[in-house]
A = this chain, B = another copy of it.
Amino acid sequence: MSAFIVIVEDEEDILELIEYNLEKEGFDTIGFTSTKNVGQLLEEESVDLLIMDRNLPGVEGSEFVAQMRNVGVETPVIYLTAKNKESDIEEGFDRGGDDYITKPFNMKELVLRIKAVLKRTKKDKTEGKMIYRDIVLDLGSRELFIENKNIELTKLEFDLLHTLISNQNIVLDRDYLLEHVWGSDAIYQDRTVNVAINRLKEKIDPDKSKEYIKTVRGVGYTLC
């Protein structure tokens, strides 16, 4: 899971520490010691996550985010804050922040929270296309093209193919698919997955010549 992360933190050593650790995790980062220029960046570039110190000299971090929200920027935010009085925390949440973390924090926790937020927001990011071999899955219009031919999919089929394609080369077991496609509270039988997969197979490869979806006996399914 790669992502473009903007960090605003006035203490340079902390800023560098965060950047170093996040890049080690494979994220692209850019750091600022003030909110200057950040607004423009958020408006113009596709930023996946903003990590924002709340105790910046001059502007309150949450004030800045509130302004951003007003001009239509929806980038999720994780606040860094030395305060941990509950009122502050609640305030941060109320204004649309997605998470907070109190200093001092450890890197492991920050990374975990980042991944959690990205995972959560990845869902509503429906831009872009996913490609696998000659399969093109348009996440915006929810259309599937195979060899440039449009193939209609039901919601279930689309979601199923989507999670398969976003985990290509990884064998997904039925429980995983049930949880991620049907929902974590779904209590269905794993045979349900079975049938759904085969309906999908039938649609995307009627004459069974392509073998996009490989079944791994005793385990699950994979796109490989």
Contact = CB atoms under 8 A, between A and B. Distances in A.
A170 B141 contact: yes
Instruction: Give the contact-size bracket for chain A.
Output: 35 or more
Nearest to A73: B109
A109 B219 contact: no
Interface stretch (A22-30, A48-56, A171-179, A192-200): A171-179
A169 B154 contact: no
A152 to B, nearest CB: 10
Contacts of A217: 154-155
Given A94-B99, A116-B96, A106 B70 contact: yes
Nearest to A158: B219
A113 B179 CA distance: 10
Contacts of A105: 70
A176 B123 contact: yes
Interface string A192-224: 000000000000000000000000111100101
Contacts of A102: 70
Contacts of A218: 154-156
A224 B106 CA distance: 38
A98 interface: yes
A10 interface: no
A119 interface: yes
Interface string A35-58: 000000000000000000000000
A117 to B, nearest CB: 8
B109 A70 contact: yes
A34 to B, nearest CB: 21
Contacts of A141: 169-171, 222, 224
A171 B159 CA distance: 14
Nearest to A102: B70
Contacts of A72: 106, 108-109
6 contacts: A72-B108, A74-B112, A94-B98, A94-B116, A109-B187, A112-B187
4 A-B pairs closest in CB distance: A155-B218, A140-B170, A141-B169, A142-B171
